[in-house]
Amino acid sequence: MSFIPLAASIDIGTTSTRAILFARDGSEIAKHQIEYTTSASVEKAASSTQKESSPTPVFSAEGVAITAADNLVFEDSKKPSLLFPNPGWVECVPSSILADATQCLGVCMGSLEALNKDAAKPYKVTAIGITNMRETTVVWSKKTGKAYHNGIVWNDTRTSAIVQKKIAETPKDVQEKLRRISGVPISTYFSASKLRWFIDNCDNVKAAYDRADGDLCFGTIDTWLIFQLTKERSHVSDVTNASRTMFMNLDTFNYDKELLDLWDINPKNIVLPKIVSSSEYYGAFKTPNLAAIGHHSDLPKASSTWLDALTDIPICGCLGDQSASLVGQLTLKAGAAKCTYGTGAFLLYNTGPRKLISEHGPVTTLGFWFPELESKEDSQPHYALEGSIAVAGSVVQWLRDNLKMIEKAQDVGPLASQVDNTGGAVFVPAFSGLFAPYWDSEARGTILGLTQYTNACHIARAALEGVCYQTRAILKAMGNDAGANGDFMEDLQSTVSPLSVLAVDGGMSKSDEVMQIQADILGPCVTVKRSPNAECTALGAAIAAGLYKHTVWSSLEDVTSSIVGDGSNNEFKAQLADDKRRAGWTLWEKAVERSRGWLTQD
C-alpha cells in the first residue's frame, strides 16, 4: 500500500462538534473541535457591562474548563447553535450543526495536507464515520434540504403533556407489549413524542404532513448529516439511532405499525429514513452547499478547498454516541460493559446477539451491527442493556456554580478525598428526577444525614458517591436481567459473574479520586478500568467506518490487537472494607426512598 489509511470521524455532541482522523493504532493524526454558542451565553454577554481582561471560561458537558486552542474554537457568539427558548426546551440549529461538522472536517484535512508535505508515506482518509447525540429530532424538506424548524434536542422536555396523556390513555398491558417491541418506554426522551410535537405545533410541518407528497423528511442527527453530506442525498439511519426513536421493531429492524399507530404517525405522510446497519456504504462524500439550506454563512474558502480531497470517499460508518463509546472502549463481546460520565452518565451492557428485555429498569437498545465481518458471531447485530443517570458531571457543576464550593470542576476530587467518608451524609442528586433503574420523574434532589460535623468535604464526597451509587444500582439491575440471582457484586464466592470489568470514560473518569470511590462502591467483584483513549465516542465511529471493505481494520480481533493505550495503569480496585460498603449501600437505598415522589400531590 502506497499510503497510510485513516478513518475520519465526525462526532456531534450536545455541546460541541469535532472531527478526528484516526490511524490503525487508534492514534489521532488530526483533530478539530467547535464548541457551540448557546442562547444563554449570548444573553449573558449582551447583558454584561464590564469589559473582561481575559476570555470568560467555557465548560464542557463534563464540567471541565476549556479554552480556545489550535484544535478548538468557539462559534460566532451572535449565531448560537444551541437554544433554550422556554423552560425545559432545548433546540439546535440543524444548518449550524452541519456547518460545524463540515468545518471541523475541513480543518483536519488541512492539517493532513501539511503533514503529508514532508512524509515519505502519505496519510489518506479511506472511510468516514459519523456518531451523534441520539434522539435529537429534525424535520426538513426533501426538495430544498432546508429544515422546517430547529431540531428538538434529546433532553428537551416540552413533550411532557403529550407523553403523560399518551401514558394515561394507553392500557398498561399495551404499554408493556410496545416496550417489548421497541425496547423503550413511553417517554419525552425518545424521538417519537418530538415528531408528534412538530406535527401538532408547527404549521409548516403540519401542512407538509397533510400534503403527503413525499417532501417531509424525518430523521435524527445522523440522518440529517448523511442526507446533506452524500452525493446521493441518502436518507438512512443506522440501527443504533433508529432504536432510540420508539418507531423501530427490535426483531425486524423495520418500522412497526403498532408503534407508529401509538403516536398517530402515518408513514404515507412522511418520509422515514431507511434503517441500515452500522457499517455499510451510505453514500459518497460531497461538500454541502450551506447557503442553499439557509445557513447564515458559507464555509471558509480554505476549508472548502481542503475538503476536495474527500470527494467520493465513502461515508460508511454510523453509531449513536453511546453505542460508539461502547465500540471505542473495545467492549465488543457479550458480558462487557462501559460507563460514560458526561453531564449525565450512560451505562451499556453488551448482551451480544441475545436481545434481553429488562425486568429491572434498563432499556434495550442496539450496541452495533457490522454485517460484513467474516466471523458469524461478530457480524450479527449486538444488543445492549442501557441505563441512564440524569445527573453526573452536572452535580460537579452545581457544586461549583451554585454552592461555590470549588473554583474548577477538577477540584472536586481533591476536596472529596480530604475525608475518608461522608460523615453520614447521603446525597441523592435527583435534580430532574431519577432515571434507571428507579424511573421516578417526581423525585427531587435530597441531602440526608446532615449534622453540625458535616462540612464542604463531606458534601462533595456525598455528591460523587451519589453518582457512583446510581451506577451500582444500574449494574445490579443489568446483572439480574442477565441471569444473576440477587446482587452479583456481593457474591464474593461465585466463579461465574455477568460482569467483572466496568470500562469508563468521560470527564469524571479523569479523576483518580472519583474512580476509586466508584471502585469502592462496586466492591471487589468488579474492576473499574479507565479508557486510555480520551475520544472513545469518535473512535467508535471511526472503527465502524474502517471495518467497511477492510479499509482500515479487517476484523474485531484486528481492532483490539491494533489499538493500543498509553501504557499507564488505569485500573481501580475496591479498597473499602465489605461491611462499610454494605452499610453505605443500605443508607443509599433508604435515601432514595425518601427522595421519591417528592412532587406527588397527596
Q: What is 393-465's CATH number?
A: 3.30.420.40
Question: What is the identity of the amino acid at 446?
Answer: T
Closest CA to 101 of 190, 224, 237, 5: 224
Share of the chain above pLDDT 90, in %: 63
Per the rule left: phi > 0, alpha: psi between -120 and 50, beta: everything else, 334 is beta
Give yes or no for residue 49 having a pLDDT over 50. no
Q: What pLDDT, on the 0 to 100 scale, is given for residue 160?
A: 86
Domain boundaries, given as residue ranges, for the chain? 4-325, 330-391+471-590, 393-465
| Predicted structure pTM score | 0.88
Q: What pLDDT, on the 0 to 100 scale, is given for residue 496?
A: 63
Closest CA to 244 of 280, 215, 273: 273
- The strand pair at 137-141 and 236-238 is best described as unpaired
Task: Find the Cα–Cα–Cα–Cα dihedral 16, 18, 24, 27, rounded to 10°.
Answer: -80
Which stretch, 27-41, 63-77, 546-560, has highest mean pLDDT? Answer: 546-560
Lateral strand order in the sheet of 72-74: 72-74, 28-35, 16-22, 4-12, 123-132, 314-320, 279-284
Contact of 488 with 502, CB cutoff 8 Å = no
Q: Decide which of 3.30.420.40, 3.30.590.10, 1.10.357.10, 3.50.50.60 is the CATH code for 330-391+471-590.
A: 3.30.420.40
Question: Distance (Å, rounded) from C-alpha 201 to C-alpha 190?
Answer: 18
Give yes or no for residue 62 having a pLDDT over 60. no
Of 33-47, 356-370, 425-439, least confident by mean pLDDT is: 33-47
Give per-residue pLDDT as tens, 388-401. Answer: 888 888 888 888 88
> If you average pLDDT over residues 455-472, what whole number do you get?
94
Give per-residue pLDDT as tens, 113-124. Answer: 999 998 889 999
CA distances from 334 to 354, 381, 383, 595 (A): 9, 12, 9, 35
Question: Distance (Å, rounded) from C-alpha 555 to C-alpha 563?
Answer: 12
Question: Residue 312 CA to chain centroid, in angstroms?
Answer: 28
Same fold flag, 4-325 and 330-391+471-590 = yes
Q: What pLDDT, on the 0 to 100 scale, is given for residue 300?
A: 83
22 Cβ contact partners less than 8 Å away, ≥ 6 residues apart: 6, 7, 8, 9, 28, 29, 538, 539, 542, 546, 552
End-to-end CA distance of the chain: 72
Give yes or no for residue 308 having a pLDDT over 70. yes
- Per-residue pLDDT band for 83 (boundaries 50, 70, 90) equals confident
For the record, the C-alpha cell of 216 comes out as 417531509
Share of the chain above pLDDT 70, in %: 91
Q: What pLDDT, on the 0 to 100 scale, is given for residue 75?
A: 60
DSSP 103-137: HHHHHHHHHHHHHHHT-SS-EEEEEEEEEE-SS-E
Angle among Cα 467, 194, 367 to the nearest 5 degrees reads 55
Contact of 469 with 487, CB cutoff 8 Å = no
Buried b / exposed e across 325-348, counting CB within 10 Å, b at 16+? bbbbbbbbebebbbbbbbbbbbbb
3-state helix/strand/coil string of 482-551: CCCCCCHHHCCCCCCCCCCEEEEEEHHHHCHHHHHHHHHHHCCCCEEEECCCCCHHHHHHHHHHHCHHHC
Question: What is the identity of the amino acid at 201?
Answer: N
- Per-residue pLDDT band for 64 (boundaries 50, 70, 90) equals very low
Using a 10 angstrom Cβ sphere, with 0-12 exposed, 13-18 middle and 19 or more buried, the burial of residue 517 is buried
Question: Distance (Å, rounded) from C-alpha 513 to C-alpha 528?
Answer: 12
Buried b / exposed e across 38-75, counting CB within 10 Å, b at 16+? beebbeeeeeeeeeeeeeeebbbbbbbebeeeebbbbb
Q: Which fold has domain 4-325?
A: Nucleotidyltransferase; domain 5 (3.30.420)
Give yes or no for residue 147 having a pLDDT over 90. yes
Of 156-160, 174-178, 321-325, 516-520, least confident by mean pLDDT is: 156-160
> If you average pLDDT over residues 431-454, what whole number do you get?
87
Give per-residue pLDDT as tens, 479-504. Answer: 888 887 777 777 666 656 778 889 99
> If you average pLDDT over residues 447-460, what whole number do you get?
94
Residue 191: which H helix or E strand, with range?
Answer: helix 191-201
Q: 315 by DSSP, 3-state: which?
A: strand
Give yes or no for residue 52 having a pLDDT over 50. no
Residue 47: which H helix or E strand, with range?
Answer: helix 39-47
Give yes or no for residue 68 having a pLDDT over 60. no
Question: Residue 485 CA to chain centroid, in angstroms?
Answer: 30
> If you average pLDDT over residues 359-382, what whole number do you get?
92
Looking at per-residue pLDDT, the higher value among 45 and 361 belongs to 361
Give per-residue pLDDT as tens, 210-221. Answer: 999 999 999 999
Q: What pLDDT, on the 0 to 100 scale, is given for residue 481?
A: 87
> If you average pLDDT over residues 27-50, what whole number do you get?
70
